[in-house]
Structure 1
């Protein structure tokens, strides 16, 4: 049996998420309610008491009567009340058939979803075509001792953290919701400096609401120097995982690298709260770039990060490419190709 739960039905959406064996805050009703780039749905396939739930954003394809699906920013993909490692083949095939049937009921062209590096979703999505290797994410294992963790830090990271502590840089967890404005200002300055797309310029209310949500535990960490907040991070804790959702540092303090001290202090709090992993994420667009190298300075533990790229209607997909004079054999890492702004 399948059902489509829309964003208007918070109770049902939340019920399935809470029943899942593993989930992340990216799957929650609240996080999807923040996204205005599409219409959020939760596709649910159920057999008896067991289910697979798949959150997606449905979007109209500009200039057409067609639709496609994508995922929210972050790590999503399907979740279940069962472990993906032991899902029975018949159950997975039932999900596949049901989801394909749903796609065929409308003018739906493609589906793109980021998958979660911790949840073994590839075993299920491998039933379809389109699992794509995107790169790696870096994580810190919080089940080790803090001494073991710090022993693998890159030498320059250890030295920088030592100097920051010596110079009285302090990390605090804020319990004051009004501090969201402080972080918002730091974050917006950071986005302006790097020339980020408009999509990443979140309002102050975004941070306030994120920190106030009762569906997951969000924490605001701030780094202070001589009483001035100069860096910070919104860290979201769900299930066994904590991860930095957003991190920023004031431009004038970038050379001091306060984010290194911040990262180390977050792991101390994480251990106290009983989390197993601190997910640092990957590089920009999940490339092994300078950002990825920065994160590898803390840990050599990496998880594979994949996406699912599925063409539901080849005829419609090819017609959209033809309209834009796009070669469908082009070796370009972007999906779906008809949404590539460079080729528009």
Structure 2
């Protein structure tokens, strides 16, 4: 097996993905966007063996201060979202996101060996652990055996998605009754939805999203700076969608479109229009747009937070589709003895639900956590 560590400006990164099922979270531009701090490094670890390739996008970050680990050791996390590892073969070109891959024993054998090469590469980069997010759509499913043998799998919740391959009548029928009723009222009331052709509505989206985060008292992790919105257009996969009333943008969202998969990334509604729920028209507008473009899946996401529980936001999304996929992570410890020493140095009780444990909130030393 041959292992490569690719930087975001390495042409082999997009070339490896070309022609294969992937998502926005696998793009080099998204890795650059997600690595928000100067001391974070986006990379892709690529393991090749004949016709098989394992592709793992990661963001490397220094370990928290106060753990006595030295300045050269780091840990790794997936870019935020569903940046699952990809197992690519020459025969999967054109495979869509809605059908689980027809894997055979060769895929499992390859993945087992490739994880060993991945672990060796992490150690070469002085990376103690890797926090890896998986993807809820069936088309991105991986053989579970090798993942469970090498690390730990954890399920955090579910994500709602729409199968755009279903007929128009079926998609309309699966809308919750009150969603259909509110959509009729919105259209009759003069609200209009559209996917923008450019970035003219980006300032409206930025303001609406910031106000929404203030209103729901969101954690700092989920807030986005002006720099984020300035850089998001460089990814090459995002669009802005809006709902307007009399020319005013009353709801807006940021959506990605890659390889047949559309994702709802972030959005919000102006406070004075919340009672009319224009976000329903926003999502239906994007759903219709994606279907017309031949996309196969529209991922609405989970509840509040990544993999959030069945709260009102999650139930709202279920009003568009009954389909759910698991929101899960894979936790890989590349250096178990060093990891144990870091946990001891952090002086916090081990929390089985938090990884890596030495970044758990409330520990004695400082540093950001790998939030889910």
How does the TM-score come out when normalised to structure 2? 0.85
Q: What corresponds to 2:367 in structure 1? A: none
- Residue 28 of structure 1 aligns with which residue? 27
Can you list the C-alpha shifts for 1:34-87, whole angstroms capped at 9, x where unaligned? Answer: 122421111010113431111101111122323111011111121133256244
3-state SS, counterpart of residue 190 of structure 1: helix
The answer to whether the 8 A contact 1:146-1:268 is kept is no
Tell me which residue corresponds to 1:41.
Answer: 43
CA contact (8 A) 1:230 1:250 kept: yes
Could you tell me which residue of structure 2 aligns to residue 96 of structure 1?
Answer: 115
Query: Could you tell me how far 1:169 is from its partner in structure 2?
Result: 0.7
Structure 2 unaligned regions, length at least 5: 93-100, 365-372
C-alpha displacement of 1:244: 0.8
1:70 to 73, 77, 94: 77
Greater mean alpha carbon deviation, residues 229-238 or residues 176-185:
176-185
Residue 122 of structure 1 deviates from its aligned partner by 4.5
What secondary structure does 2:169 align onto?
helix
1:293-329 per-residue CA deviation (whole Å, 9 max, x = no partner) reads: 111111111112211012222222222222222222x
SS of 1:219's equivalent in the other structure is strand
Confirm or deny: 8 A CA contact 2:60 2:75 kept in the other structure: yes
- Partners of 1:40 and 1:142 in 2: how far apart? 32
Question: Within the alignment, does 1:259 sit opposite 2:274 as a pair?
Answer: no
The answer to whether 1:206 aligns with 2:244 is no
1:114 aligns with 2:114: no
The CA distance in 2 between the partners of 1:193 and 1:108, in whole Å, is 38
- Range with greater deviation from structure 2 (247-256 or 189-198): 189-198
Aligned-partner SS, 1:231: strand
1:50 paired to 2:52: yes
SS at match of 2:18: helix
Q: Does 1:6 align with 2:25?
A: no
* 1: CA distance, partners of 2:254 / 2:174: 25
Tell me how far 1:281 sits from its aligned partner. Answer: 0.8
8 Å CA contact 2:161, 2:300 repeated in 1:
yes
Aligned: 1:248 with 2:289: no
Secondary structure of the equivalent of 1:254?
helix
3-state SS of 1:309 partner: strand
**Conserved 8 A contact 2:64-2:359:** no
1:156 is displaced (CA, Å) by 1.5
**What are the equivalent positions in structure 2 for 1:83-162 lying under 5 Å apart?**
83=92, 85-86=103-104, 87-118=106-137, 119-123=140-144, 125-162=147-184
Q: Does 1:268 align with 2:267?
A: no
- Within the alignment, does 1:229 sit opposite 2:249 as a pair? yes
| Stretches of 4+ aligned residues off by more than 4 angstroms | none
Whether the 8 Å CA contact 1:133–1:307 is kept in 2: the answer is yes
User: How many residue pairs get matched?
Assistant: 338
Match of residue 18 from structure 1: 18
Contact 1:177 1:208 in 2 (8 A): no
CA contact (8 A) 1:181 1:204 kept: no
C-alpha separation in 1, matches of 2:42 and 2:293: 32
Distance 2:189 2:240 in 1: 22
Instruction: Tell me the TM-score normalized by structure 1.
Output: 0.92
- The Cα shift of 1:117 comes to 1.5
8 Å CA contact retained: 1:131, 1:308:
yes
Q: Which residue of 1 aligns with 2:370?
A: none
Distance 1:342 1:166, change over 3 A: farther
Secondary structure of 1:88 counterpart? helix
Instruction: Quote the offset at 1:212 in angstroms.
Output: 4.9
Name the SS of the counterpart of 1:322 in structure 2: helix
CA contact (8 A) 1:122 1:131 kept: no
Match of 2:98 in 1: none
1:249 CA drift (Å): 0.9
- After superposition, the C-alpha distances for 1:224-266 in whole angstroms (9 at most, x for unaligned) are 1122101011111111211111111111211211001111121
Residues in 2 aligned to 1:97 and 1:148: alpha-carbon distance in whole angstroms: 45
